[in-house]
């Protein structure tokens, strides 16, 4: 059984069909790339899997359970975490406080308890502190734990967003353009972290990304969308050599170089 099953997913915005009859499986420990031209419906698919959008039709099944109508926070507690295209951080809080806020999604504490340090949650914070610091060490931000999030460089803010997603004890990461705005060194570091999460922790990822070279080097399998429909699926090399994909997406990229 697949970790995630998407069945006949459709999304309409009035008369616009953003996603049409999409079905796909994502397996435990897999890195799946979701690519396509601008407006192909990639982020809409992530939004429906993450719960910020409801499908017009279709089902989303996670670990054998239908989650199609669950709100995002309940999906997060089941193990689905989203890293958005834009950095979503408490920018006036420290790196550590952002991490504690992420850990709230998988705990019984309220978010007000975390920020206002109510006595009932002090023991909880001591328990999670080392796990949070371990995640910060993983993304190489442990030395910046007391730094204000707003003061971090862009690449470090992206790494912090990944660490916050991990703080929810995620089993499935939804990564919306995780490499955007990064330099080549930062891209290599982020790709290495995503691979390590798969290889050492068995964490599954779905990645929407326009950097085709990175996608082919990172993903085990790729699904290609065009006008909301799946037009190809397979290994990175099967996909990049597919004439339909070249015409719909890669050819556009090449012509823009």
Tens-place pLDDT, residues 45-96: 999 999 999 999 999 999 999 999 999 999 999 999 999 887 778 878 999 9
Place 254 in a pLDDT band, splitting at 50, 70 and 90. very low
Per-residue buried b or exposed e for 6-26, using 16+ beta carbons within 10 Å of the residue's own CB: bbebbbeeeeebbbbebebbb
Question: What does residue 19 show for φ and ψ, rounded to 5 degrees?
Answer: -140, 135
Looking at residue 250, its pLDDT comes to 54
Quote the CA–CA distance of 144 and 250 in Å, as a whole number: 39
pLDDT over 90 at 12, yes or no: yes
Looking at residue 255, its pLDDT comes to 42
pLDDT over 80 at 206, yes or no: yes
Give the H or E element holding residue 232. Answer: strand 229-234
Averaged pLDDT of the chain: 88
pLDDT over 90 at 110, yes or no: no
Quote the CA–CA distance of 58 and 67 in Å, as a whole number: 11
The domain over range 1-78+171-257 is classified in CATH as 3.20.20.70: no
Three-state SS at 54: coil
Q: What is the pTM of this model?
A: 0.88
Q: Provide the percentage of residues in the chain whose pLDDT is more than 70.
A: 88
Quote the CA–CA distance of 123 and 157 in Å, as a whole number: 28
Instruction: Catalogue the long-range contacts made by 105-112 (C-beta closer than 8 Å, 24 or more residues apart).
Output: 105/73, 105/76, 105/77, 105/81, 105/167, 105/168, 106/76, 106/77, 106/167, 106/168, 106/169
pLDDT over 90 at 13, yes or no: yes
Model confidence pLDDT, tens digit, residues 161-183? 999 999 888 999 999 999 988 99
Quote the CA–CA distance of 188 and 140 in Å, as a whole number: 14
Q: What is the DSSP letter of 180?
A: T
Q: Provide the percentage of residues in the chain whose pLDDT is more than 90.
A: 71
Query: Could you tell me how many helices (H) and strands (E) the chain has, helices first?
Result: 11, 10
Domain layout of the chain by residue ranges: 1-78+171-257, 80-161
Q: Return the sign of the alpha-carbon dihedral for residues 150, 151, 153, 157.
A: negative
Bridge partners, 26 (sequence order): 4
- Find, among 205, 165, 202, the residue nearest to 4 by Cα: 205
Mean pLDDT on 205-211? 94
- Pairing relation of β-strands 65-66 and 80-83? unpaired
Q: pLDDT: is 20 or 85 the higher one?
A: 20
Mean pLDDT on 38-43? 92
Q: What is the DSSP letter of 22?
A: E
Model confidence pLDDT, tens digit, residues 213-246? 999 999 999 999 999 999 999 999 999 899 999 8
């Amino acid at each position: 059984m697949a970790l995630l099953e998407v069945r006949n997913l459709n999304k309409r915005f009035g008369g616009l069909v953003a996603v049409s009859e999409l079905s796909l499986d994502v397996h435990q420990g897999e890195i799946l790339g979701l690519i396509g031209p601008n407006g192909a419906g990639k982020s809409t698919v992530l939004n429906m899997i993450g719960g910020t959008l409801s499908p017009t039709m279709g089902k989303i099944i996670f670990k054998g359970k239908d989650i199609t109508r669950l709100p995002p926070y309940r999906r997060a507690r089941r193990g689905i975490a989203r890293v958005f295209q834009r950095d979503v951080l408490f920018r006036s809080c420290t790196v550590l406080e952002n991490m504690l806020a992420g850990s709230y999604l998988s705990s019984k504490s309220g978010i007000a308890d975390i920020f206002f340090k109510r006595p009932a949650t002090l023991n909880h914070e001591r328990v999670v502190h080392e796990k949070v610091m371990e995640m910060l060490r993983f993304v190489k931000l442990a030395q910046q734990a007391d730094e204000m999030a707003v003061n971090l460089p862009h690449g470090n803010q992206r790494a912090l967003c990944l660490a916050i997603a991990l703080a929810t004890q995620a089993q499935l990461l939804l990564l919306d353009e995780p490499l955007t705005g990064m330099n080549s060194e930062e891209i290599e570091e982020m790709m290495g972290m995503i691979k390590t999460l798969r290889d050492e922790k068995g964490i599954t990822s779905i990645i929407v990304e326009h950097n085709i070279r990175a996608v082919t080097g990172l993903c085990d399998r790729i699904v290609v969308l065009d006008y909301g429909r799946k037009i190809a699926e397979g290994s990175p090399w099967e996909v990049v050599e597919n004439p339909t994909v070249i015409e719909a997406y890669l050819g556009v990229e090449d012509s823009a170089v």
